Every structure is written in C-alpha cells, then in structure tokens.
Amino acid sequence: MEHEPQNLGRSRVLSIDALRGFDMFWIIGGGTVLSTLPRMWDHPIARAVELQLEHVEWEGFRFEDLIFPLFIFIVGAVLPFSISRRLEGGQSLARVHLHVLKRTLGLILLGLILNGLLRFDWPQMRWPGVLQRIGLCYFFAGVLVIHTKWRTQAAVVAAVLLLYWAVTMLVPVPGHGSGDLTPEGCLSSYIDQHLIPGQLYYGYGDNEGVISTFPAVCTALLGALAGHWLRSNRPGPRKAMGLAAAGLASLIAGYVWGWFFPIIKILWTSSYVLFAGGWSLLLLALFYWVIDVRGCRRGSLFFVVIGMNAITIYFLDGFVDFDGMAEFFLGGVAMYAGLLTPVVLPLGALMGKLLLLRLLHRHGVFFKI
C-alpha cells in the first residue's frame, strides 16, 4: 500500500521507501529486462542471472522467491512508525483500528478486481491473490502492533512458526498420510481444496492459500520487529549492525530448519519465513546504512520514486497495456536493433512505467488506500 511517511523523531527513514522501490523494480519489469541477457550474451553468468529471476518449481530458493516476502516484510517494518505516530498524535484506538481495517479491505478489493471480480464469473475466478495476502498480513500484524509490545510479537512469530511446522508435518491428509510435502499430498493443498471456492493457482492448492497465510503474517511481524529496532534511540551504525546480525542469524536458522522442514515458497514454510526474512533484514541493514546513516540520499531517488507509489503501479500493470505501448513506439526499433533486439520491448515497457512514476512523484501525487 502507499505508506505514509515513516518518521524517526522528525527524520524520514528514507531507506524503507527505497527498499520498497528496489523490490517493486523487479516486479514491474526489471527482472524481465535482465532475463533477456542470455539471448544477447550466451554465457554461464547470463544464464545464472536468468535462473535467479525464475521461481523454483517447488522446493528451494532463488532471488525471485525473495520478492514477495520482502514486500510483506516492508509492510510490517512501516507499522511501528505509522501506528505510533497516529496514537501519539491523539487518535483513539477505535480510529486507528478503523484505519487498519479500511486499508485491509481496500487491498483485498483491489486484489479481487485484478483477479476478475467485475467479470462476475465468480465460480471460475481465483479468490486468493498477492494483494489479498498483503491485506491480511497488514491487518493481523497491525492489530498486534497496536496492542502488544515487541517481545509479544516475537513470541507470536516463534509460536506460529513452530505450530505451523507441527501441524503441517503431523496432521494426516486422507490418502497421503502425514508429513507429505508434495503439491498433491500436503495439508495446505487439502485445506485449500475444501475451503477456497473457484480456481486454485496450482490445481491442487493455491500460492496464497488458507493456512500458509499464518506464517506469512510472521513475515510482516519480522518487519515490525525491525521497525521497532529502527525507532529506538540507538545510534544509526548500531542499528544497521543489529539488523545485519539478526539477518544473518535468521538466514542460518532458516537454512538449518530447511533440512527438516524444506524451504517451499508456495507453502510459506517456517524455514522459508526465516530464510527470506534473513535476506530481508540484510537488505534493510544495507539500505539503512547507505542511505540513512551514510547520507547517500541522492542516489536513492530512483528507487524512492518507485516505492512511493508501489501499489499504484502494481495495480495499473494489471490492466494498462504497457507492452502494447512499447510495441507501438519501439516495434520498428526492435526489428533493427540487432543483438539488442530481445531487450528493446521489455526495456521500453519498463521505461513507460518508470516515466509514469516519475511524473506522479514530481507532482506530489501518491495514491493511498
């Protein structure tokens, strides 16, 4: 969602906006552009880059599998700032709750519209989705941040991840038994088949399924814990080092847990939460150190422009034909670009989105839910 300014005292934590923009860059076309590299330069490095820009089919982890949890992590990181500002500004608990609820419903509604709600073919529609999951994670994490301290939030993360592990591995699925982590035999797929109407993303179940939402909320809470840390009165360098240390610890814990409870994005396994959370913390530490501690803010503008209207461009990309516009303006160029032909149209579509975002930013237009 288009988050309101995050403040630490009176100063903006610009690194959060920049990190959100970095994340969205890959979603709106940065990954598509880079994935054309092997067609222009057939080299093992180019093929390795392309591979990292593709999701794993089931078990494992690549860079592309970090994009979604990183966004949810950032949603959580903003919560301690935005909610504390509202409460300290004199807003009542009821009003803060209403604000969280309105944003949640707005995100879910936008997600349903992207999935085809207005076509009214609801039996054939996919009901879960990316924005729906973001909305639910925002809601549950927001309520916890409103009513609990960081220690309770950390305890909730630990309890939910352990419980999700136990339930997934111990509860038997009819016809498959317990501990089956295949797409057709896992508990998540079984529950999705019985509780989610309409179409499921991967046939047996859904990427944004029912029970996998609970560990996804933990991803937002990891971000909230990082936000609490950034709001503290500690010196900036110490904050950056603390984030980096926590990231490394989370990364190791997720990797080790993955030996017993594999890293599977579609199931949002507990090991996946910690492993992706570790990378998210390390990226936040890097961005915070460079931008807010070292003061290299000018170079962050490119990503900040994207991050300030992240949901806007994600929603527009669902129905505005940027690829068609790139074909219209650059189709002839692509025909005669020689070695660069594969990248011309994807780069043109990306540039169209970036130009729109820059225009919105220049005129101070930030769409909020």
Check: CB of residue 73 under 8 Å from CB of residue 247: no
Structural domain boundaries in the chain: 7-362
- Would you state the pLDDT for residue 12? 61
Residue-level pLDDT at 350: 97
Residue 7 has a pLDDT of 38
Residues in the chain, total:
369
| pLDDT per residue rounded down to tens, the chain (369 residues) | 333 333 333 346 899 999 999 999 999 999 999 999 999 999 999 999 999 999 999 999 999 999 999 999 999 999 999 999 999 999 999 999 999 999 999 999 999 999 999 999 999 999 999 999 999 999 999 999 999 999 999 999 999 999 999 999 999 999 999 999 999 999 999 999 999 999 999 999 999 999 999 999 999 999 999 999 999 999 999 999 999 999 999 999 999 999 999 999 999 999 999 999 999 999 999 999 999 999 988 889 999 999 999 999 999 999 899 999 999 999 999 999 999 999 999 999 999 999 999 999 999 998 887
Give which of 99, 132, 83, 81 is closest to 369, Cα–Cα.
Answer: 99
Residue at 206: amino acid letter: D
Would you state the pLDDT for residue 298? 85
Dihedrals phi, psi of 180, to nearest 5 degrees: -85, 115
Q: What is the pLDDT of residue 263?
A: 98
Q: Facing residues of 12 across strands? A: 7
Prediction pTM value: 0.94
Q: Could you tell me if 224 and 246 are in contact, meaning their C-beta atoms sit under 8 angstroms apart?
A: no
